[in-house]
Amino acid sequence: MAMDGSAARKQEPAERQELDSVVVRFAGDSGDGVQLTGSRFTETVALAGNDLETFPDFPAEIRAPIGTTYGVSAFQINFGSRVIMTSGDAPDVLVAFNPAALKTNVGDLKQGGLVILDVGTFNDKNFEKAGYKGNPLEDGSLTRHRIFPIDVSKHTLEAVKDSGVNKRDGLRAKNFWALGLVDWMYDRDVAPTIKWIESKFSKEPEIAKANIAALKAGHAFGETAEMPDGVRGFTLRRAELAPGLYRTITGTESLAYGLIVGAKLAGLDLFFSSYPITPASAVLHALAGLKAFGVTTFQAEDEIAAIGAAIGAAYAGALGITSSSGPGIALKTEALGLAITTELPLIVLDTQRAGPSTGMPTKTEQSDLNLAVYGRNGDAPLIVLSARSPGDAFDVAIEAVRLATQFMTPVIVLSDTYISNAAEPWLVPDVGSYEPFPVGFRTNPEGFHPFVRDEKLARPWVKPGTPGLAHRVGGLEKNYNSGNISYDPINHQRMTDARKAKIDGVANAIPEQAVEQGETTGRLAVVGWGSTYGPIYRAVSNVRRDGKAVSHIHLRHIWPMPRNLGELLKGFDQILVPEMNTGQLVGMLRNQYLVPAEGLNKVMGRPFTISEIEAAIRSKLD
Amino acid sequence: MNDTVSPRALTPDSFESDQEIRWCPGCGDYAIIKSVRKALADIGTDPDQVVFVSGIGCASRFPYYMATYGFHTIHGRAPAIATGVKLANPALDVWVVGGDGDMLSIGGNHTLHAIRRNIDLNILLFNNEIYGLTKGQYSPTSRVGTRSPSTPMGSVDYPVSALVFALGAGAHFIARTIDTLQKHVPDVLKRAHAHKGASFVEIIQNCIVYNDGVFDDFTAKDVAADRQLHLEHGKPLRFGKTKEKGLRFDPKSMKLEVVTLGENGVSEADLVVHDETNRTLGTMLAAMEPPDFPAALGVIYCSPAESYDHAVKAQIAAARSKAPAADLNALLRRGHTWTVDRPQA
């Protein structure tokens, strides 16, 4: 086993090996700055023109006891010169800042993958906290991988000694030392990170100096130090991306921006109310900082008040939006019924996490689909959309605003923890290129009652304050012809039918279902929704490269389903539905279309790997 | 916008909708709605600028009977929904109506926070100490020992005092009145309306079917004078048929005590003078219960502070004036960006 600096050779830049793509994971204590390191490296990689996807994975505890396995925070990035569809199956490189990070992450590494290990944290106390009986470097447990043990802590302290920081603050710069080394490995420029540090720590110049010194030292270490066998420099060409202006975007940012743009296209003020919940709070934070765009945000006293205030705002003529994760959506369901029966536009964001109940708050899952489509008392249909990636969430948010306001209905947008936290390069759109869909508030009293319907069966939206249109709405059943309270049996049938027909009719206002890859008929269709898009896409393309006939169908509009979906699915012998739940979309497809759909299900708090889906596809075709 | 007087002369009838009222004959709500319509006519608000928001319960049918904008929502949530209405359009004149079960039990949390935030809502709690619409179960304001279908041997839990609760939540305006006081109710409502911020009014309301006469110990004609203290700011706290009784503060026990003028040398100068802005006094008055004390009626506490809706809009205005040219395309391009020039081979 290579020890620090031994069995080494000098690495010349000329010897850099070219790669198509690589997966790197940083892992350490939640106080080690792992997420920050990851996001800085993401920006560096993006600016170098690579395509990428990231997967931040952190514990629910804010500061779990130092050195424990449950306090480990990780950040994975897959980047390359080809189009990147997922955050990567298995890392090529793991940077582990302590024994606990090694223990919890090394099993995911590729056979023969590289572990850059901070042995400055290697002592009996940390071994014990990580659950190791002794030094894992000496027990033969790491022979599947190449280990590069290096005392990052010592090197960092050495680098920052002239910065004027104390030892504690100096040690906190070790993530930047490691980032410098990884920057060197992949031929990435440290300049953007330096610029970021200078701006972030402009009020703490000593901390800035220490972090920059550590970053540069890590980079210089790669350039000058003797590297052990197998540790070398690589280079990756720019990815073939469509021309234009890019930025990195997370699902959270994308949703927030999409909602603001959607409100603008509808000509509405945006009113956003939510109650803090992991992982959905980030949308509230993002919008609370955008008051200059006329956004009103409201942190309500609970989930019910959050949706209540959004419904009140919708009644008053604003774009009412609420946001939560599964447990909070469950609390909102009664109020959702009110928005459905009073036929008010409302956007409900569900950033799904592992359930049931509190479940695993920081882990991803797709298990709220049934809740979104069916989870209310009474016959209470609404629109359900899903985002497939961070960038896609922008367009889905706009689509949600369009459908909610045109059809006077709540729309649930399903995202998940993965989409919310993950980042990817995003071709920044021109807001002017979106077709506006201005809301026409009713002002004409002639022939008015609150439930008089247009050709889409949508009722009029009236701003309180409009002269001559004062009216009352509520949760009680309404007379079809006047909007007044009615308990008439035939009327209830008629109103229930009208509410259903209105939502069914949305299918005429959305695109027909397209096929992402492959033919429109054949032996096998892989049908997905939400964040499984990336791994399904790549798995299908891998199998197709071998000449096998398999198609990929991805649903953005989940309810109502696209009008041609049934016919499309009936053109395939087999239908495989990978989902991060125990089989929810697959059940819907079977009950809607009587097709022989089968599930591929995983609920481990982590996305599917490409290989898992690829294996399932191959077994269907063999 | 909300205080503009409509060109047409407003009368209580201007606020009457075309819907037939479905409360039980003799219900206190009839008197209340009459007073509310009168108060609104007196205030002169254009009915098209008024929104009534309610929850669930007998009282919550209220919006259907008002010729204003109205939203009959779900159990307990009216304060939350009204908060959204007001934040989306602060120019509207927003009223919240609910009963004791609605606002202090299932919706207690929302009532607390609407009051705490001091959002400019006029909150009317119709307190009849019973669940009416669900057929007579005891409520969170029912007195200990209340026999009801769910408490056949009498309730054993202690009631909440609506007004003490409101003060605990940080209310800046609390008042109490009684359904049958046809002059007093509109006067109190006009004061509530004039107060910018959350105004919380408890209206004692008789449920003729499930809890008839429960307030007789201070509302019945023969005891009213002795059991009701009608508050006026700046006036000594006097009550009784000939205003012969009053309230004096005993500094030793730090309590109010009932005294009779002319007895033991007590004169008007010894009595507490009502000060609406004194929260400590307000708390003592709100907590008084017959028969040992008279029930305090009128504006108990009024100490205006910036309303939540005003503060929220002020922050938005400040952010807008700081970045007047806030542009969506610029927003999307904030931070690091890079350009891919051409498709690469």
Residue A248 and residue B88: Cβ atoms within 8 Å? no
CB pairs under 8 A between A and B: 213
Measured between beta carbons, the chain B residues lying within 8 angstroms of A335 are: 74, 77
Token pair for A244 = 């234009």
For chain A, positions 272-301, list CB contacts with chain B under 8 A. Answer: 273, 290-296, 298, 300-301
Test B91 with A314 for CB contact under 8 angstroms: no
> In this complex, is the C-beta atom of A428 within 8 Å of any C-beta atom belonging to chain B?
yes
- Mutation pick from A472, A476, A477, A478 vs chain B, by most beta carbons of B within 10 Å, is A472
Q: Which chain B residues contact residue A465 at CB under 8 A?
A: 1, 48-49, 69, 89, 91-92
Distance from CA of B197 to the nearest CA of A (A): 17
- Rounded CA separation B112/B105 (Å): 11
Element spanning A175, H or E: helix A174-185
What does the pLDDT read at residue A59?
81
Q: Report whether pLDDT(A599) > 90.
A: yes
Express each pLDDT in A529-578 by its tens digit.
Answer: 999 999 999 999 999 999 999 999 999 999 999 999 999 999 999 999 99
Q: Which two tokens stand for residue A475?
A: 């949760």
Q: Return residues 454-473 of A near B (CB < 8 Å).
A: 463-473
What is the per-residue pLDDT across A492-533, written as a single tens digit (0 to 9) for each? 999 999 999 999 999 999 999 999 999 999 999 999 999 999
For A192-231, what is each residue's pLDDT tens digit?
Answer: 999 999 999 999 999 999 999 999 999 999 998 888 776 7
Greatest distance between any 2 Cα atoms in chain B: 106
CA distance B249 to chain A (A): 38
H helix runs in A466-609, sequence order: 489-504, 533-545, 565-570, 585-593
The first and second tokens of residue A321, run together, are 């939006």
Per-residue pLDDT band for A65 (boundaries 50, 70, 90) equals: confident
Minimum Cα–Cα distance from B341: chain A residue: A243
CB–CB contact B88 A308 (8 Å): no
Pairing of strands A21-29, A72-80: antiparallel
Q: Which residues in chain A have their CB less than 8 angstroms from residue B341's CB? A: 243
Q: Chain B: nearest CA to A412, how far in angstroms?
A: 19
Average pLDDT of every residue of chain A: 94
Q: What is the structure's pLDDT at B285?
A: 98
The C-alpha of A257 sits at a distance from chain B's nearest C-alpha, in angstroms, of: 7
Asked if A308 lies within 8 A of B73 by C-beta distance, the reply is yes
What pLDDT score does A1 carry? 35
Calculate mean pLDDT across residues A120-140. Answer: 94
State the average pLDDT over residues A113-124. 95
pLDDT tens figures, A315-365: 999 999 999 999 999 999 999 999 999 999 999 999 999 999 999 999 999
* Contact yes or no for B48 and A465 at CB 8 A: yes
Q: Can you name the CATH fold of B12-235+274-310?
A: Rossmann fold (3.40.50)
The structure's pTM equals 0.93
Using the predicted structure, report yes or no on whether residue A7 has a pLDDT greater than 60. Answer: no
Q: What is the pLDDT of residue B8?
A: 62
Contact of A26 with A38, CB cutoff 8 Å: yes
CA of A27, closest CA in chain B: separation in Å? 25
Of A43, A301, A316, the CB nearest to B113: A301
Q: Confirm or reject contact between A445 and chain B (CB < 8 A).
A: no
Q: Mean pLDDT, to the nearest integer, of A6-30?
A: 75
Task: Check B67 against A470: CB less than 8 A apart.
Answer: yes
- What is the rounded CA–CA span in Å between residue B318 and residue B107? 33
Domain spans of chain B, in order of start = 12-235+274-310, 236-273
pLDDT per residue of chain B (345 residues) written in tens, 0 to 9: 344 444 568 999 999 999 999 999 999 999 999 999 999 999 999 999 999 999 999 999 999 999 999 999 999 999 999 999 999 999 999 999 999 999 999 999 999 999 999 999 999 999 999 999 999 999 999 999 999 999 999 999 999 999 999 999 999 999 999 999 999 999 999 999 999 999 999 999 999 999 999 999 999 999 999 999 999 999 999 999 999 999 999 999 999 999 999 999 999 999 999 999 999 999 999 999 999 999 999 999 999 999 999 999 999 999 999 988 889 999 999 888 888 886 544
For residue B4, the distance in angstroms to the closest alpha carbon of chain A comes to 12
Q: Does B6 touch chain A (CB under 8 A)?
A: no
Question: Which of A189, A315, A430, A448 is the best substitution to test chain B (most B C-beta atoms within 10 A)?
Answer: A315
Residue B40 contacts A where some CB pair is shorter than 8 Å = no
> φ, ψ for residue A320 (rounded to 5)?
-85, 130
How near does any CA of chain B get to the CA of A391, in Å? 12
Q: What is the DSSP string of A580-616?
A: SSSSSHHHHHHHHH---EEEEE--SSSPPPHHHHHHH
Angle between helices A303-315 and A326-341 (to 10 degrees): 30
Using one digit for the tens of pLDDT, what is the confidence trace for B188-240? 999 999 999 999 999 999 999 999 999 999 999 999 999 999 999 999 999 99
On whether any CB of chain A is under 8 Å from the CB of B238, the answer is no
Is A245 close to B63, i.e. CB distance below 8 A? no
- Residues of chain A with Cβ-Cβ distance to B77 below 8 Å are 304-305, 308, 335
Which burial class, exposed, middle or buried, applies to A72 when counting CB atoms under 10 A from its CB (0-12, 13-18, 19+)? buried
- Give percent above pLDDT 70 in chain A: 98
Residues in chain A with CB shorter than 8 Å from the CB of B336 are 43, 46-47, 192, 247-248
* Tens of pLDDT, residues A353-368: 999 999 999 999 999 9
**Nearest chain B CA: its distance from A81 CA (Å):** 11
Q: Does B264 touch chain A (CB under 8 A)?
A: no
Q: Contacts of residue A269 in chain B, CB cutoff 8 Å? A: 88
pLDDT in tens, A41-60: 999 999 888 999 999 988 87
Percentage of the residues of chain A whose pLDDT score is greater than 90: 90
| Best A291, A319, A401 residue to mutate vs chain B (most B CBs within 10 Å) | A291
Of the listed ranges A136-150, A474-488, B27-41, B232-246, the one predicted with least confidence = A136-150
Of A388, A252, A250, A261, the C-alpha closest to A319 is A261
pLDDT at A3: 38
Confidence of residue A14 (pLDDT cuts 50, 70, 90): low
Within the 336-395 window of chain A, which residues sit less than 8 Å (CB to CB) from chain B?
337-338, 342
Cβ under 8 Å to B: A residues 183-242: 192, 238, 240-242
Q: Residue B16 to residues A372, B11, B40, B45, B69: CA-CA distances in angstroms?
A: 40, 10, 11, 14, 12
Mean pLDDT over A267-276 rounds to: 98
Q: pLDDT value at position B336?
A: 83
Residue A10 has a pLDDT of 44
**A252: how many CB neighbours lie within 10 A of its CB?**
27
Q: Say if residues B275 and B281 touch (Cβ distance below 8 Å).
A: yes
Task: Please check the confidence at residue A11 and state whether its pLDDT lies above 80.
Answer: no
**Does residue A463 surpass a pLDDT of 80?**
yes
Q: What's the pLDDT at A249?
A: 94
d(CA B125, CA B202): 5
**Residue linked to tokens 């900082």:** A289
Residue A89 corresponds to which tokens in the numbers above? 């199956």
